[in-house]
């Protein structure tokens, strides 16, 4: 059970929770946090009347728990209860028609969520509303950390005399900043560059990563923070006080010891702000280097936009024209998200991760050309239907061959192969099966086992893991099973 909260803590949580009412016009909202028994327990709520049922806790085998787990990367909306029969009854008992869930993630762990219902005037949720919901969730996490209910956010930087360089393993950049950080680390070794500061601003969290030829004095850190705050203000951005920043320092292999001037460029994207400062000798002109930094950032943003466009086209491939396959879409999305997390855990390259993500989403695209409505959700299909179903990897590969996306058709063609060679369509075994196919196969089976929308009766996360562990080395790549277990938090 969660410990009782004092009145001041309750008030602070309510103040943040009320933002859903004020900014999103939701009529109901409830905050749940993970308790010591593994269930998500109700902490605070508003808008639920006496006759409107509200769950005191959401156990791991509850449909709402599965929904939140499947949508743990971002706020998710259920506007058509009929598409999720297991959740329809939950909404009906509380007199609701629309569900918005906002996951609360601390580190890599799901520690709670917000359950919000029914916008006033039956309005729908668009990208802007989901962006606001995510921002409110981030504020909740910050308050929960301050109250000691979850792991606290990074502490304020100590006084200048107490700040010590941290080992390189302390560096962990957001994915959108990784390429930029790599360039900045290289620039710190360039002639005439004494240090480079990469400051990442995410909400109220500010982390400044310093690449230096020699350790910086406390006054130099203060100067960097002051300069970056001034430049940000000129760009219309307000940064927290420098006392709330965290600093991490990594030695570079540069030779320049003079750091007399600071030049800064501000880079922004989707709520993420990055400031890069070059510390150089007096009278130097690092404009070319700053332009290179801006160019890398712009190129990175174009790559991200291209990836989004490709994923949008994947959605069109899955449901062309006016066709709508809600169960297929939900399953594909869940498999894609889980496969991507596994790819990240494996440390695959960006291109490999994108291939796995797309293959996860499109692994069943061949079903659209078959008798989808009749055979997709059959738990025990007759022999003819079973043979028809087993054609979908090959059909899907033929569809995707025309896209010419490297490796995608093969990844889909072999996602039903088994490690021991008893799968289909070509009975490949072991490493001969493409890695992307092995990852997608494992992610798909896990979702089929645990999803309330599956054609099978769902089991708990722990039961699903036990089933999968028994098949390691037979159905599944034994090296990937531990990766899945780590990703799903079992």
Residue at 308 is within a domain: no
- The yes-or-no verdict on residue 171 having pLDDT over 70 is no
Residue at 57 is within a domain: yes
Residue at 132 is within a domain: yes
Q: Domain containing 233 — which CATH number?
A: 3.30.450
pLDDT, one tens digit per residue, over 217-237 is 888 888 999 999 999 999 888
Chosen domain end from 146, 170, 203: 146
- More confidently predicted of 324 and 266: 266
Q: Is 397 within 8 Å of 424 (Cβ atoms)?
A: no
- The yes-or-no verdict on residue 167 having pLDDT over 50 is no
Q: Do 141 and 242 belong to one domain?
A: no
Q: Do 468 and 409 belong to one domain?
A: yes
Q: Do 169 and 266 belong to one domain?
A: yes
Q: Do 54 and 100 belong to one domain?
A: yes
Residue at 2 is within a domain: no
pLDDT, one tens digit per residue, over 64-84 is 988 888 888 889 999 888 888
pLDDT, one tens digit per residue, over 98-129 is 999 999 988 767 889 999 998 887 788 888 88
- The yes-or-no verdict on residue 19 having pLDDT over 60 is yes
Count of domains forming the chain: 3
Q: Residue range 288-293: average pLDDT?
A: 86
- The yes-or-no verdict on residue 320 having pLDDT over 70 is no
pLDDT band at residue 251 using 50, 70 and 90 as cut-offs: confident
Q: Do 40 and 132 belong to one domain?
A: yes
pLDDT for 282: 87
Distance of CA 159 to the CA centre of its chain: 34
Q: Do 270 and 404 belong to one domain?
A: no
Percent of the chain beyond pLDDT 90? 30
Count of beta carbons in the 10 Å neighbourhood of residue 146: 13
DSSP string, 42-72: EEEEES--TTS---SEE-TTSHHHHHHHHTT
Residue at 425 is within a domain: yes
Q: Of 116, 135, 117, 104, which is closest to residue 34 (Cα–Cα)?
A: 104
pLDDT for 424: 93
Q: Domain containing 430 — which CATH number?
A: 1.10.3210.10
Residue at 56 is within a domain: yes
Residue at 310 is within a domain: no
CA distance 245 to 207: 6
Chosen domain end from 265, 300, 335: 300
Chosen domain end from 246, 271, 300: 300
Q: Do 196 and 246 belong to one domain?
A: yes
Residue at 72 is within a domain: yes
- Domain limits for position 202: 160-300
Q: Do 378 and 400 belong to one domain?
A: yes
Q: Do 291 and 325 belong to one domain?
A: no
Q: Residue range 333-347: average pLDDT?
A: 93
Q: Residue range 177-196: average pLDDT?
A: 85
pLDDT for 361: 93
Q: Do 166 and 141 belong to one domain?
A: no
Q: Is 317 within 8 Å of 401 (Cβ atoms)?
A: no
Q: Tokens representing 378? A: 């059959």
Q: Do 480 and 359 belong to one domain?
A: yes
pLDDT, one tens digit per residue, over 429-446 is 999 999 999 999 999 999
Q: Do 350 and 471 belong to one domain?
A: yes
Q: Domain containing 109 — which CATH number?
A: 3.30.450.40
Whole-prediction pTM: 0.51
Q: Which residues lie below 8 Å from residue 94, measured CB to CB, with a gap of 6+?
A: 28, 48, 52, 53, 54, 117
């Amino acid at each position: 059970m969660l410990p009782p909260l004092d009145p001041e803590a309750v008030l602070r949580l309510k103040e943040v929770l009320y933002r859903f009412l004020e900014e999103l016009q939701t009529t109901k909202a409830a905050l749940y946090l993970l308790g010591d028994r593994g269930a998500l327990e109700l902490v605070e709520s508003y808008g639920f009347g006496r006759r409107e049922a509200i769950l005191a806790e959401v156990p791991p085998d509850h449909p709402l728990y599965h929904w939140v787990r499947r949508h743990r990367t971002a706020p998710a909306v259920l506007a058509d209860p009929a598409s999720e029969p297991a959740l329809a009854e939950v909404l009906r008992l509380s007199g609701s028609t629309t569900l918005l869930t906002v996951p609360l993630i601390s580190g890599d762990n799901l520690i709670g969520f917000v359950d919000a219902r029914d916008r006033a005037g039956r309005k729908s949720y668009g990208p802007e509303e989901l962006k606001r919901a995510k921002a409110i969730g981030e504020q909740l996490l910050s308050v929960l950390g301050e109250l000691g209910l979850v792991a606290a956010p990074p502490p304020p930087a100590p006084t200048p005399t107490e700040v010590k360089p941290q080992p390189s393993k302390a560096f962990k950049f957001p994915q959108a900043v990784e390429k930029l950080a790599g360039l900045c680390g290289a620039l710190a070794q360039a002639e005439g560059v004494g240090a480079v500061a990469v400051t990442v601003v995410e909400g109220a969290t500010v982390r400044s990563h310093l690449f230096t030829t020699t350790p910086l004095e406390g006054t130099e850190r203060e100067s960097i923070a002051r300069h970056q705050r001034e430049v940000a203000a000129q760009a219309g951005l307000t940064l927290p006080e420098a006392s709330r920043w965290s600093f991490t320092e990594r030695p570079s292999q540069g030779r320049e010891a003079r750091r007399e001037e600071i030049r800064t460029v501000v880079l922004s994207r989707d709520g993420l702000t990055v400031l890069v400062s070059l510390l150089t000798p007096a009278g130097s002109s690092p404009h070319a280097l700053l332009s290179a930094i801006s160019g890398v950032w712009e190129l990175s943003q174009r790559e991200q936009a291209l990836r989004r466009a490709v994923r949008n086209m994947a959605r069109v491939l899955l449901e062309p024209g006016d066709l709508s396959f809600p169960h297929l879409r939900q399953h594909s999305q869940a498999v894609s998200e889980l496969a991507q997390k596994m790819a990240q855990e494996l440390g695959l390259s960006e291109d490999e991760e994108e291939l796995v993500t797309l293959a996860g989403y499109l692994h069943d695209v061949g079903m659209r050309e078959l008798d989808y409505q009749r055979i997709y959700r059959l738990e025990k299909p007759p022999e003819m239907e079973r043979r028809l179903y087993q054609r979908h990897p090959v059909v899907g590969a033929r569809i995707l061959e025309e896209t010419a996306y490297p490796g995608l058709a093969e990844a889909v063609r072999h996602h039903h192969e088994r490690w021991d060679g008893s799968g289909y369509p070509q009975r490949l075994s072991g490493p001969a099966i493409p890695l992307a196919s092995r990852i997608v196969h494992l992610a798909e089976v896990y979702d089929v086992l645990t999803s309330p929308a599956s054609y099978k009766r769902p089991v708990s996360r722990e039961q699903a893991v036990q089933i999968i562990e028994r098949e390691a080395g037979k159905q599944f790549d034994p090296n990937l099973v531990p990766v899945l277990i780590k990703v799903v938090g079992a």
